[in-house]
Amino acid sequence: MITTFELNNIIGRQVSFKDCDPREKLVKVIGNFYHYDLASGTNVVPEETYVIKRAEGNVLILQKK
């Protein structure tokens, strides 16, 4: 489970495509890997920047910036 301290430092942070592994659905944030899902209508596109909008359990929800 993601702790409150982690959430306070992760939510709102920007990540780039190079931080994402679309095949494994992992994203690297502050040196750690987390599972991610995409907000409705969002696709992983090279050269795009994403914002971590929220967490649902252990899954971070990414949305295009």
**For residue 1, is pLDDT > 70?**
no
In sequence order, what are the beta bridge partners of 28? Answer: 33
Total number of residues shown for the chain: 65
**Where in the chain are the domains?**
4-64
Query: 4-64 sits in which CATH class?
Result: mainly beta
63: confidence class by pLDDT, cuts 50, 70, 90: very high
φ/ψ (deg, to 5) at 43 = -120, 150
pLDDT digits (tens, 9 = 90+) for 8-54: 899 999 999 999 999 999 999 999 999 999 999 888 888 899 999 99
Non-local CB neighbours of 29 within 8 Å, separated by 6+ positions: 10, 13, 15, 19, 52, 60
Separation of first and last alpha carbons in the chain = 26
